[in-house]
Amino acid sequence: MFRNWIFWILATGLILSACASTSPPTSASSSPQPASVTESSSSPSDLITPTLLPEESPPARAESEFTTDFSKHSVPYSEILLGGPPKDGIPAIDEPKFISVGEANEWLKDREPVVFIQVGDDARAYPIQILIWHEIVNDTVGGEPLLVTFCPLCNTAIAFKRTFNPSTGSGQVGQVLDFGTTGRLRYSNLIMYDRQTETWWQQATGDAIAGEYTGAQLEFYPASMISWGDFKDLYPNGKVLSRDTGHPRDYGRNPYFGYDDITQTPFLYDGTTPDQLPPMARVLTVDLNGEAVAYPYDVLRELNVINDMVGGEDIVVFWAEGTASALDTSNIPEGREVGSAVVYSRLIDNQELEFEFKDGKILDTQTSSEWNILGQAIAGEMEGKQLTPVVSINHFWFSWAAFKPETRIYQP
């Protein structure tokens, strides 16, 4: 069934791309606030000198669509495949509009997945039913220019800072980049491009793989895939990405239905996958200080809470039920239960906490305070406290293993 739909997607993408604007943009609550976020260690403070590969012919049709400096690249061009639609055939949202929780609740169902991002007191939800058709949103949240991305073929929802300093690779001071879709894939993963230099960037890693900035890396920002029900309950004054995108799409319908079947074969993926898990197994991944760990959703569902150490940092993974798969049935709210998982630092106010799942609640063992999926203490001595989020990313196992084959798979 999925294969039939993929051919439909490719055909539709080619048709709709003719109607999509490729012009660059003109410019681009009361809940507890998170402390400064714990970034993935792969976000560089200094630009790494790239290891460039010998010049070779650019990917098919790339020179006719892009002004990219294809003489600079860090991956073999043979690994880059056409995904179907051309450059910007899947149109990014460059001037996103937002509506209230009440307005969005008229068309969003509680079980639908949304990407949750918060900067200061600005909390936003990006429904997967919209991202699945656009894959990129160029936004500014709480004054921070952010890139919100979703690759349906890898189930990866990832946010990056758009402010980039070419001289250091840092996201603190520099130019603000705007991004679009190249229409190409590597290991089945979205390849983006920035409109300022048309450098190509790998969504899964944030790495610049071809063009002027080859060897640089975008800075990650925490983004969680949670249920609409959790977002609207915890952030009733939050903002929600509107369906008014300027592009006619059948929002709410999943064009990839059946894709995340555990027996499915990854689309346009010709790599090998370590056999510890099935290629399409869902995992939540963390990469800190040179150590990468994958937490299988089957394990998370059994344990609900995992205390672990990654790269020398004490973390905790929370899992909660109530979130549907966006890639299962054709109607997203009817997708099978997969739940939500988020990662936090266990250090708060110079105190290291240990967590457990007891009597249907997430509790810390030091004070028996109760915590929710968004790292907020909602009852007990710690009530009102907020755990610091750690960058963590949902993947299918094949996708993560393609980029991080040395990953440790968590086992109880």
Q: How confident is the model at residue 193 (pLDDT cuts 50, 70, 90)?
A: very high
268-284 confidence digits (pLDDT tens): 898 889 999 999 999 99
Q: Write the single-letter amino acid at 409.
A: I
Q: Higher pLDDT residue, 279 or 10?
A: 279
379-397 pLDDT per residue, tens: 999 999 999 999 999 999 9
Residues of the chain with pLDDT > 70, as a percent, come to 87
The percent of residues above 90 in pLDDT, for the chain, comes to 82
- Over range 213-221, report the average pLDDT: 96
Q: Whole-structure pTM over 0.85, yes or no?
A: yes
Range 45-65 average pLDDT: 82
Go through the domains of the chain in sequence order and give each one's CATH number: 2-21+38-47+60-241 (no CATH), 282-409 (2.102.10)
Mean pLDDT of all residues belonging to the chain? 90
The least confident of 17-31, 210-224, 235-249 is 17-31
Closest by Cα among 87, 101, 84 to 268: 84
